[in-house]
Amino acid sequence: MKQVLQHLRTGELEVAELPAPSLSRGAVLIQSQASLISAGTERMLVEFGKANLLDKARSQPEKVKQVLEKVRTDGLLSTVDAVLRKLDQPLPLGYSNAGVVLEVGAGVQDIQVGDRVASNGHHAELVVVPRNLCVKLPDNVSSEQGAFTTLGSIALQGMRLAAPAMGERFAVVGVGLLGLLSIQLLQANGCEVLAIDLNEERLNLAASYGAEVVRLGRGEDPIAHAAAWTQGRGVDGVLVTASAKTDEIMHQAAQISRQRGRIILVGVVGLNLRRSDFYEKELTFQVSCSYGPGRYDAAYEKQGHDYPYGLVRWTEQRNFEAFVQAMAKGRVEVDSMISRRFAIAQATQAYEVIRHDSEALGVVLTYPQHTPLRSAQMVLEVGRVVPREAVCVSVVGAGNFAVSTLIPALAKTVAVIDSVVDHKPFAARHAAKQAKALRALTSYKEVLADPRVDAVFLVTGHHVHAQQVCDALQAGKHVFVEKPLALNEIELSKVIAHARKAPSKCLMVGFNRRFSPHIQHIKQALRGRSGPLCMQMTVNAGYIPSSHWTQDPELGGGRIIGEGCHFLDLLSFLAGSPITAVSAMMVGEKADIREDKMSILLQMADGSVATLNYFANGSKSFPKETLELFFDQQVIRMDNFRSTEGFGFKSFSSLRTLRQDKGHQAEMMAFVETLRTGGLPPIPLAEIVNVTRASFAAVEAAREAKVVSIPQGFEKSESNGSFVPERAKAEKSELLAPNETISQDLAALLLSSFETHLH
């Protein structure tokens, strides 16, 4: 299928060929018939993409501040890599779409195959949209008209915030699509409207709707005109629907308002407000958020949890419905706003018109009437031959971590990346190209059914990890899954059961930090210790709002289970001993989120103890991870995986790396080498299970203020131990054995990829 993408780093616009999107629960698959280019928002995105790096930085000073903070903590090279990778990710354009429903996902009851709907779908031949973000179109509203629904809902939400009453007088500043829609909506509510703009053609259209107009291009004074129009009283409200950088628009909006007037910002303008403007008249100012209540709320938009009708009368979907009804009953007319039409294949020309033709208003993309090929895969490397003995893998999930960290590390191993899978077609193709993979897919099931794929790398949402691991093991695949392995004991038990049924398959969790050269260096120094370890690790985790999916117990498991397991594994690995008991304390009731501000005390089987301080309320300028070990009158300190030094040693070489090295590359090499040659898994399943249970115990201990013992019933002898892969070579290299450091052969191989300097 075809979809319009923009590459932010170069500004290039592309009509990309992509695999068909996969349908998810609570969503509908739509074949597009028309979509509307938002002349304001999308022009801004295109202009931002075409700007050079310096101009991009100037336009986003807050982002620059974040980059500088990252340089101080992570180093220049790591930061530059992260910024460029972010800019390299394609951005799908468009958010006002209409078409015909081809399929409905589980849980969708009130939409049927064949229904015509309007949605916030992208400019693409096929789109998958959650149920709460689409609405049925009546027979007398065409798909071209329906494509205005999302933009119309933005205008409608701005008007609702202004709370117009019949007979009031409003000014609309900026007569683009949003302004023209706002004018008609205000008039439908019994208001008189003053339209203010530079563009003569658009003002003529506003006048044809019955608005009074102020022609700035002719030098007309909006303040004087508004005063005359309102007999010197001032307008009751102002809707600012313009897109401009100047602060003068808000100043003029205040000047034309009556005392206690309302100003609603729907567009994007400069906001260096003058206090006197608002103080003297006691003006009300509010910024309108997109389509209305529910916007940016994952529970509403993605999970389908609606707001109670009696408490939240106008959600974004109900705004969709209201706007469609306004069109159906003739209260809003949009055909006159359509200035150009382009086929989807000519979308790049459409955007050139938007950028350079000041007279262009509503530019509509049209789509072929036939149903596009709905293949869930796209072949990228047609002529590439994969050696028969190669380890063939698939990466499932093309999010930021997969693209920025996992795939680059995996690409440096001997494995062949057969495919990258993601439910977002553009993300799957981008990541597959970065990985030089053979295919981009949107269906995980196709990978499981493919006999060529030896192993899957699961970099997906935490809530699906356990089930996807079970499915992959059952399909006969080796599995690498990013943390966490499971979110609760029930899920963990299912994983253990499937692992026992597949003893020849390697299951590994992405506990990368134990593979870092800094941790390996520390592990070597601990070889001759005579007493238990006393360890302290501080994680400056950074603030994540409660609305984020990682904080959701059902989706992310919370940050201790979702991320804290990393550090539990590291501490257990350094002790060379399983965790036997956990106690924890979290901050008091005054914190908005308590469970990501926690001190966790661990008891190891060998008598070692460790404290993990996981704090999300610190400064970004402070290092994220620091580790201290006390033993045998000696101390080792590791700072943010960039420097390690020892105190009290007769001989200890400090280690410094040019950039952070958290062990991702070594982890990938160890896992792939295990698949290639056979041997013990890089991390025994018994250790993975122990750490996973310890993460559950930490949350339980903090909530209930008690010490939680960790069951030790899952013995190492029960885990998937050594195995021989189907294409194993005769000679097997020694790998990371339980609680040991990397073998000499593999260490030599890994060290060649490290940019390290020993002192």
Q: What is the mean pLDDT of residues 433-447?
A: 92
| R_g (Cα) of the chain, nearest Å | 30
- pLDDT at residue 67 is higher than 90: no
Q: What is the mean pLDDT of residues 334-346?
A: 95
The SS3 of residue 399 is coil
Q: What is the mean pLDDT of residues 705-726?
A: 59
Q: What is the mean pLDDT of residues 409-424?
A: 94
Q: In angstroms, rounded to a whole number, what is the distance separating the alpha carbons of residues 242 and 199?
A: 12
Mean pLDDT over all residues of the chain? 88
Tokens standing for residue 249: 């628009």
- pLDDT at residue 523 is higher than 70: yes
Q: What is the mean pLDDT of residues 361-370?
A: 92
- pLDDT at residue 723 is higher than 60: no
Confidence of residue 357 (pLDDT cuts 50, 70, 90): confident
Helices (H) and strands (E) in the chain, counts: 26, 33
Confidence of residue 706 (pLDDT cuts 50, 70, 90): very high
Q: Please choose, from the candidates 33, 4, 28, the residue with its C-alpha nearest in 3D space to the C-alpha of residue 133.
A: 28
Amino acid in the structure at residue 633: Q
CATH topology of domain 377-512: Rossmann fold (3.40.50)
- pLDDT at residue 729 is higher than 70: no
- pLDDT at residue 329 is higher than 80: yes
- pLDDT at residue 409 is higher than 50: yes
Q: What is the pLDDT of residue 659?
A: 85
Tokens standing for residue 650: 């007769």
CA-based max dimension of the chain: 95
The reply to whether 2-148+334-366 and 513-758 are identical in fold is no
CATH topology of domain 2-148+334-366: Quinone Oxidoreductase; Chain A, domain 1 (3.90.180)
CATH topology of domain 513-758: Dihydrodipicolinate Reductase; domain 2 (3.30.360)
pTM (2 d.p.): 0.82
- pLDDT at residue 744 is higher than 80: no
Sign of the dihedral through C-alpha 214, 215, 216, 219: negative
Counting Cβ atoms within 10 Å, is residue 282 exposed (0-12), middle (13-18) or buried (19+)?
A: exposed
Tokens standing for residue 470: 């079970």
Q: What is the pLDDT of residue 756?
A: 34
Q: What is the pLDDT of residue 669?
A: 96
Q: What is the DSSP letter of 373?
A: P
Least confident interval from 214-218, 552-556, 724-728: 724-728
Q: What is the pLDDT of residue 95?
A: 93
Domain-by-domain residue ranges, the chain?
2-148+334-366, 151-287, 377-512, 513-758
Give the helix, strand, coil percentages of the chain, each rounded to 5. 35, 25, 40
Higher pLDDT, 670 or 381: 670
Pure H helices in 678-726: 685-704
Tokens standing for residue 655: 């280690």
Query: Which phi and psi (to 5°) does residue 270 adopt?
Result: -65, 140
What contacts 89, CB < 8 A, 6 or more positions away? 8, 400, 403, 427, 430
Higher pLDDT, 182 or 8: 182
Cα 227 to chain center, whole Å? 48
Q: Please choose, from the candidates 439, 428, 395, 440, the residue with its C-alpha nearest in 3D space to the C-alpha of residue 413.
A: 395
Sign of the dihedral through C-alpha 445, 449, 453, 455: positive
Higher pLDDT, 355 or 538: 538
Least confident interval from 16-30, 210-224, 262-276, 373-387: 373-387
Tokens standing for residue 33: 């018939």
- pLDDT at residue 273 is higher than 50: yes
Q: Please choose, from the candidates 523, 525, 503, 535, the residue with its C-alpha nearest in 3D space to the C-alpha of residue 653.
A: 525
Q: What is the mean pLDDT of residues 478-507?
A: 96
What contacts 640, CB < 8 A, 6 or more positions away? 73, 74, 623, 624, 625, 626, 660
Q: What is the pLDDT of residue 718?
A: 39
Confidence of residue 477 (pLDDT cuts 50, 70, 90): very high
Q: What is the mean pLDDT of residues 157-170?
A: 97
Q: Does domain 151-287 match CATH 3.40.50.720? A: yes
User: What are the DSSP calls for 276-294, one per residue?
Assistant: HHHHHHT-EEEE--TTSTT
Q: What is the pLDDT of residue 86?
A: 64
Higher pLDDT, 67 or 450: 450
Q: In angstroms, rounded to a whole number, what is the distance separating the alpha carbons of residues 212 and 229?
A: 9
**What share of the chain has pLDDT > 90, as a percent?**
76
Cα 99 to chain center, whole Å? 26
Tokens standing for residue 108: 């969708």
Higher pLDDT, 621 or 224: 224
Task: For residue range 633-662, list pLDDT tens digits in order.
Answer: 999 999 999 999 999 998 899 999 988 899
What contacts 699, CB < 8 A, 6 or more positions away? 558, 560, 561, 584, 595
Confidence of residue 595 (pLDDT cuts 50, 70, 90): very high
Q: What is the mean pLDDT of residues 3-22?
A: 88
Q: What is the pLDDT of residue 274?
A: 93
Q: What is the pLDDT of residue 369?
A: 86
Higher pLDDT, 107 or 87: 107
Q: What is the pLDDT of residue 574?
A: 97
Task: For residue range 524-543, list pLDDT tens digits in order.
Answer: 999 989 999 999 999 999 99
Q: What is the mean pLDDT of residues 44-68?
A: 61
Confidence of residue 624 (pLDDT cuts 50, 70, 90): very high
